[in-house]
Structure 1
Amino acid sequence: MGDIRIMIVDSDPAQVETIATALRKHQDFNLISMVSTRETAIRQLSAEPDIVVLNPEVLKKRTLSRFIHSVQAKNQKTRVVLLLENGLSDEDLITDLKTGIRGYISTVDPPAIMAKALRAVHDGEIWAERRLLEKAISKPMLLPETLQSHIPGLPPLTNREMEILTMLLQGSTNREIAVESSISERTVKTHLYRIYRKLKVKSRTKAIALLSH
């Protein structure tokens, strides 16, 4: 049985089956639920999926931010990845990233790409094109070295933490940070955990949002 627990939320049965078939080819995925409505998805969050693959069309008039809030209220560790049938504008995707999604995949992505994306999100990364991440953080940011003066009560960051936070704000993945810093990815995750704890946030996306003016 796979270690990465997946829920698919999509009202198109054929599309759901295509994605499910793709994921079943990889032993590290455990497809625990396939649902067609927002309401059913919220109820079945008690199964504690690691990742919810969501076709935003299912939400209809309800907003993505409300869905993510509902997910996090049930389990803060569950991450949401969008499943896109049609292309969205860069601005829409950037807004979604700031809302709290952890990435997006396309219905036409090869199975290997879908698997790679979901593994990356499970490992704490954001799966999105670099240019979108750069745009998402292109607004004026608080520099790590000036954080103390802007966030009252913030515990001091070590030099290494400031270095890693700077790379995070530039859109670097955990692996890229590890290579650049000559440390292991596991050590990067440890540093990020400490940074998030000091910033009082739960994720990379929340850290970026906090540091945006």
Structure 2
Amino acid sequence: MQTVTVAIADTDAGRRAKLEQSLQEGSGIEVLTDVMSDLDGIPAAHELEPHKNLVSTEDVIARITQLKPRILFVNLDLSIERECALLEALQRTCPETLVLLLTDKSVQEEQIIQALANGARGCLSHETDPLYFLKAVRVVDRGEIWVTRQMLGKIMDRVLH
């Protein structure tokens, strides 16, 4: 089994640490940590934080281009325009990096569909059982998508209508 490299873009250090720990339990997965620690003196506590003013989308793209993770978890919050700009830039500059969205209950289905339309390969709730994060990494690494059946139904409705 080939090692899958994973990076995490989430502004919440606690959630990020929990996800890192879950992923490190999976064999064949290498979690890239402290990924933003050498950008212009930004502290490691602000790793890959595209939602903070401290790190611009360009800085995130530059770092991802350097690291070349296979999978990138991106927190999807209420600033969907910023996430979509990040997704579009990642598709242009890092097409080999596949994005999985991290969501919470505040994110609307329309936002998820918009992000998927802009290149995300799947979506998981922060509250998902840690086992599913490992499964999602494997599935997306194989070129498949990771969405709930309910979300797949909504996507199909849009395609067909």
- Which protein has the larger Cα radius of gyration, Structure 1 or Structure 2? 1
**Which residue number corresponds to residue 15 of structure 1?**
15
Task: Output the amino acid matched with 1:113.
Answer: Y
**Which residue number corresponds to residue 78 of structure 1?**
97
TM-aligned CA distance change 1:79 to 1:140, over 3 Å: closer
TM-aligned CA distance change 1:135 to 1:61, over 3 Å: closer
8 Å CA contact retained: 2:91, 2:119: no
Q: Say if 2:73 is the partner of 1:53.
A: yes
Q: Say if 2:57 is the partner of 1:37.
A: no
Unaligned runs of 5+ in 1: 142-212
**Which residue number corresponds to residue 41 of structure 2?**
none
C-alpha distance in 2, partners of 1:138/1:98?
14
C-alpha distance in 2, partners of 1:5/1:85?
24
Runs of 4+ in 1 over 6 A off after TM superposition: none
Q: Deviations over 1:13-56 (max 9, x none)?
A: 11111111111111211111452422342221121111110112
Q: Which has the bigger relative contact order, CA under 8 A and spacing at least 6? A: 2
Question: Which has the larger share of helix?
Answer: 1
8 Å CA contact retained: 2:76, 2:107: no
8 Å CA contact retained: 1:98, 1:136: no
Write out aligned runs for 1:1-213 (5 A).
3-33=3-33, 34=35, 35-38=47-50, 39=56, 40-45=59-64, 46-57=66-77, 60=79, 62-139=81-158, 141=160
Deviates more, 1:119-128 or 1:85-94: 85-94
3-state DSSP of counterpart to 2:133: helix
Deviates more, 1:90-99 or 1:69-78: 90-99
Structure 1-normalised TM-score? Answer: 0.59
Q: CA deviation at 1:60?
A: 4.3
Structure 2-normalised TM-score? Answer: 0.76
8 Å CA contact retained: 1:94, 1:133: no
C-alpha distance in 2, partners of 1:107/1:84?
6
3-state DSSP of counterpart to 1:108: coil
3-state DSSP of counterpart to 2:92: helix
Aligned-pair identity in percent equals 24
C-alpha distance in 1, partners of 2:94/2:145?
18
Backbone CA RMSD of aligned residues? 2.4
